[in-house]
Each structure stands twice: as C-alpha cells, then as structure tokens.
Copies of this chain bind each other. A is one copy, B any other.
Amino acid sequence: MNQALRAGRIATKNEEKIKKLLDEVGLMIKDIPMENTPPETGAIIYRKIYEITDNNDPYKEIKAKNISHALHLYPKLKQKVDESDDRLLTAIRLAVAGNVIDLGISKEFNITKDVEKLLHQEFAIFDYELFKKELEKTDEILYIGDNSGEAVFDKILIEEIGKPVTFVVREIPIINDVTKKEAKQIGIDKIAKVISSGTTAPGTILGLCNDDFIRKFKNADMIISKGQGNYEGLSNIYRSIFFLLKVKCPIIARNVGVKENDIILKGMNIK
C-alpha cells in the first residue's frame, strides 16, 4: 500500500486516481499469499499502478536524475579505484555503495555521503577470497543488475573484472530498476553484452523470466547478483551465486543472519 501510494503520487497528480488505486490495491491484498516475495507482489501492484495512472514509467525522471548524478560522480569514482591498493576491492565497495541509491525502498538519499561511508563500512559477510578464486577460474560472468543509478557503479566493477560480462536487466520499467534503455544511457552496452531476464518484477523471479535467460542462468560459470530484489528471487535456488547487496529490511536481515543496513558479499553454493 505504501509503494502504491508513493508510486501513485509520482505517476499522477489526480487524487481521484490515487484513491482508485488504493481501493483496487486494497482489494488485491487478500489474493496475495503470505509466501509471496516482495518482487512478486511488486510486479502485480505496479501493473495496477500503470493501468490506473496511465503512466508505465513513473520513475522515469527520478531514474534520469539518479543516472546523471552518478555519471557526474563517475570520474571521481574511477580515480578512487586508480588510487587504491586493491582495485577490485574498491570496485566491489563502490558496487555496494551504488545499491544504496534505491528509491523503491528509501525515500531520502545522498549519494556522495553514502558512497564515502560505504567505502569504509565493514562487510558483515565478505567472501572476497572465494570471489577472487572463482573469478580467476571463470571465462565469463553473468551480472544481474538492480536499480538504474546503481548500474553506473556496476559499470565500474564490470570494468575491473576484466573478463567478458553479460549484464542482465528487467524487461519493462519497474520502480527505478535498470532496463535496456538505462543500461544504454550509462554505456554498459559498450563494455558488456546487455540482455533482459524477461522479468517484470523488481527482482529476478525465475517463473517470470524468459527461456533464454533461464538457460544462461543455469549454465553460467559465475553469477553476480546485485541487490535485495534479486536476492529474494534467487537465494532459494540451488546454484552458485555471489550476492552483493546492502540489507534493507529486517526480514532479509533475519534470512541472511545479519543486521539491517549491513552490507554483504556472500557466495552461495560455491563448489
């Protein structure tokens, strides 16, 4: 309901439409099972938002602003990598910092301040040695993106990885998540292959993904998954994945075994 109200207010100024949206989302709640992951519920609710407000990309301007702000920071962020003792580590830290810029969850943010803070925050789970070992062995990486501003930070990590990367985006605009359009704006298509997972949810829900992605997901040597939405969709699936994210809610914190606001690089099912 909060997301519907927030996105509704961004999508339209028409109070009657906002009331209609709340009425209809209210009616939908009983059909949403308790077992649903937030991205699954998000997909259903955003479809309703688009339908009632006649706006199928309410976060368009916000995404553009976030990307522009992050691209403006990009040279400074690259400099941080250049000046660091461990380029890959700094790039991983920046990729987590990018995960903070999530308007789907938090209302207020200050990119520059958060970046500085996150560059010095301890990881609650940090499978960095495992990550480096896997990275060395692998020929190519499937990198699952999350939100749009964050993808500028992902670009920096992809550049440091130094191996062929396939960058995975959402099929349609959903909250502020990255689609092909934003990936191109950021120039990720110049350094990686960009594909859509086919998902219409703010997370990688395999049941909503296309066959091509599911095949790639099954066969990939190494997978990096960014953010909570993807974690929620993929953490119960048995295959090796590195999850890189900031934990943004108490439920995920409990599931991972860390505290809210912790940052993690967690290798799951790594052989």
Number of interface residues of A (CB under 8 A): 15
A8, chain B: closest CB distance, angstroms? 13
Partner of A26, one of B15, B19, B27, B34: B27
Known A1-B1, A2-B2; judge A30-B23 contact (CB<8 A): yes
Chain B residues whose C-beta falls within 8 Å of the C-beta of A16 in the assembled complex? 34
A35, chain B: closest CB distance, angstroms? 10
Known A1-B1, A2-B2; judge A30-B27 contact (CB<8 A): yes
**Consensus secondary structure, chain A interface:** helix
- Docked Cα-Cα span, A16 to B33, in Å, equals 11
**A73 at the binding interface (Cβ < 8 Å):** no
Q: Are A29 and B34 in contact (CB under 8 A)?
A: no
Partner of A34, one of B1, B19, B27, B30: B19
- Which chain A residues in 1-50 approach chain B with CB under 8 Å? 1-2, 15-16, 19, 22-30, 34
Task: Please name the residue on chain B nearest to A16 by beta carbon.
Answer: B34
Chain B residues whose C-beta falls within 8 Å of the C-beta of A29 in the assembled complex? 22-23, 26-27
Measuring CB to CB, which residues of chain A are less than 8 angstroms from any residue of chain B?
A: 1-2, 15-16, 19, 22-30, 34
